[in-house]
Amino acid sequence: MKIALAQQNYHIGNFEDNTWKIIGAIQHAKLRGADLVVFSELSVCGYAPRDFLEFNDFINECYRALDIIKEHTEDIGVIVGCPQRNPEIAGKDLFNAAWFLYQKKVHGVAQKTLLPNYDVFDEYRYFEPGYEHNVIPFKGKKIALVICEDIWNLGDNPLYRIAPMDELIKQQPDLIINISASPFDYDHDVDRIEVIRANVLKYKLPMFYCNAVGSQTEIVFDGGSLVMDANGRIVKEMKYFEEDFATFDEADYGGKKSEVGSKTEDAASPTSGLRPLASDFDKEMRVSKINNPELIIDYLTAEKNIKEIHQALILGIRDYFRKMGFSKAILGSSGGIDSAVTLALACEALGKENVRAILMPSQYSTGHSVSDAEQLSKTLDNPYDIIPIKDVYDAFLTTLKPVFKDLPFNLAEENIQSRTRGNLLMAIANKFGYILLNTSNKSELATGYGTLYGDMAGGLSVLGDVYKMQVYALARYINRNGIVIPENIIYKAPSAELRPDQKDSDSLPEYHLLDKVLYQYIEKRQGPKEIVAKGIDEALVSRILKMVNTNEYKRNQFCPIIRVSCKAFGVGRRVPIVGKYLS
């Protein structure tokens, strides 16, 4: 049996585009002689539709799309993801389902059993867990059809009480097909492959794994669909961060587990495919990074991680603009590392002509800040303007003098500068139809080092899930083939330049120390005692964690953040604003 995988980028609720994209791949699969073509989880409506699922009209549109797709299945099997209504009154109204369409009919349906309800996932809010497990016969083969999380309940500490494949294997299937919407983070792709391998080796069956690709607001899906034979060897690993299509003959993937040492047509080794598996060093780093804090920065800035973060951010920017119907971006270019990296990424994602940089020096700005920002835009060849803010800032101070009287200069005057810049950026954005890109990084957002309605303004945060040390690594990666970001931007001491001789280190610990603690607390949910036990100063840990928890109110008002880590600020991290813990 010849099977095709269609790795596609869908648009949530855009039924017309999604449907014709699916039909186009069906026609392509027919031309390639495929017996079956497989699409990703909730492909008909896009993942994750969230509260759209509560609208009956939305589900009706899903069913209409299925009816249209069915008409193209007269001589080919098609597996698509789509919500299914639950006929039982008890329980949730919907299942997250994989529909097997053939000969213009519904040939079978598999319902997702394991519904993730952690981090960015909220499936149990909408879906009833599947409770029937049956293989689907097709052209002499028995297919175990499962959905995303259904293959993840392995290991010593399973999250769920059952594993669907334990039930399906009793019916002696010939292969496993898993349709997924598995988001990217720089830890997850290696884990994903190892989970697929663990299933393949446990059940002694080949697996076809079809993942979504594309960005949906803040969540990036990286693709990487693959086929693995029954010996745990990758037959083919499909592209990352872009659409792809591939077909596989039975000779490629085999049937039941073959003899050790046998060779598939497209795979001569366990690491074949478009991207090799993690090296032993990578695996060792992942295991030891928490036990040895000295390795954390090395891990966060490792070349593999930075390359993937770069790809994810480009896709996140591009899809946000394309799917929202926007084309042009604006940002404040300060001559600092964060705005420089954001500008370079935006130019690559949207085209240099579509990204406008605004340089807004004040009386506290250094001369090199303007010259560095100018040089960057000249190198990138993007449009830019210089708008000094001194007159606007002085007008604010004059207006406020009856209230401020002769009180000394403090944070209030600093924030007026930041909010002046935010107002200017938003005025230009409104006038010309730009979307403002925010340039704050994760280290700043974590500690509250930012001004509400000032430098925290924006429609999309590009670097809000990227630690400061990773921002520096991204700058070096952007410069890998030649100087794009001026070296002075990379090597000078970071500063908000809101008062004379200001440095970030006046308010924050040095970033290489700060990021170690933040990563252990935010990503790995380590408590203060656990972090201190790893050899980090107790007073420093207490200071940093207090900054994180007392600034939740700022992050709660922030724009969407492109997610690249396993625990980003936003929908995947739900912390009370008024909590007392560690504050």
Tens digits of pLDDT across the chain (583 residues): 999 999 999 999 999 999 999 999 999 999 999 999 999 999 999 999 999 999 999 999 999 999 999 999 999 999 999 999 999 999 999 999 999 999 999 999 999 999 999 999 999 999 999 999 999 999 999 999 999 999 999 888 889 999 999 999 999 999 999 999 999 999 786 889 999 999 999 999 999 999 999 999 999 999 999 999 999 999 999 999 999 999 999 888 875 543 333 333 333 333 333 334 444 445 554 555 556 777 999 999 999 999 999 999 999 999 999 999 999 999 999 999 999 999 999 999 999 999 999 999 988 888 788 999 999 999 999 999 999 999 999 999 999 999 999 999 999 999 999 999 999 999 999 999 999 999 999 999 999 999 999 999 999 999 999 999 999 999 999 999 999 999 999 998 888 777 787 788 888 999 999 999 999 999 999 999 999 999 999 999 999 999 999 999 999 999 999 999 999 999 999 999 998 898 8
Q: Does residue 515 lie within any of the structural domains?
A: no
Alpha helices per DSSP H over 433-564: 442-447, 468-478, 487-491, 511-518, 528-532, 538-550, 552-555
Task: Identify whether 578 is part of a domain.
Answer: no
Whether 74 is a known active-site residue: answer no
243 and 337 both lie in a single domain: no
The one catalytic residue among 62, 148, 210, 559: 148
Q: Check whether residue 268 and residue 297 sit in a common domain.
A: no
Give residue 472's identity as a one-letter amino acid code: Y
Which neighbouring-strand residues pair with 136?
143
What pLDDT sits at residue 499? 77
> Does 425 share its domain with 469?
yes
Residue that finishes a domain, picked among 490, 507, 524: 507
Is the residue at 529 inside a domain? no
Q: What is the CATH number of the domain that holds 112?
A: 3.60.110.10
Same domain? For 413 and 450 the reply is yes
Residue 378 lies in a domain: yes
> Domain check: are 187 and 151 in the same one?
yes
Do residues 262 and 377 share a domain?
no
Instruction: Confirm whether 232 is domain-assigned.
Output: yes
Same domain, 271 and 298: no
Give the rounded distance of the alpha carbon of 92 from its chain centre: 28
Residues 32 and 85 in one domain: yes
Question: Are residues 207 and 328 both part of a single domain?
Answer: no
Looking up residue 422, the CATH number of its domain turns out to be: 3.40.50.620
Instruction: Tell me which DSSP letter residue 42 carries.
Output: T
| Residues spanned by the domain of 321 | 293-507
Clarify whether residues 232 and 96 are in a common domain: yes
β-strand pairing of 77-85 with 226-228: unpaired
Q: Are residues 353 and 472 in the same domain?
A: yes
Q: Which of 21, 112, 289, 323 is catalytic?
A: 112
Catalytic residue among 41, 123, 237, 414: 41
374 is catalytic: no
107 neighbors 92 (Cβ within 8 angstroms) = no
DSSP letters for 270-296: TT-SSSPPPPHHHHHHHHHTTT-GGGH
pLDDT at 85: 98
Please state whether the predicted TM-score (pTM) of the whole model is above 0.85.
Answer: yes
Residue 41 annotated to the active site: yes
194 within a domain of the structure (yes/no): yes
Same domain flag for 354 and 467: yes
Evaluated on CA atoms 435, 441, 446, 452, the torsion sign reads negative
**Cβ–Cβ under 8 Å, residues 136 and 129:** no
Domain boundary among 507, 527, 551: 507
Burial class of residue 345, CB neighbours in 10 A (0-12, 13-18, 19+): buried
Please calculate the CA angle 340-344-346 and round it to the nearest 5 degrees.
115
Evaluate whether residue 229 is within a structural domain: yes
Asked if residue 574 is part of any domain, the answer here is no
What total number of domains does the chain contain?
2
Assess contact for 428 and 417: CB atoms under 8 A. no
Domain termination residue (choose one: 244, 277, 310): 277
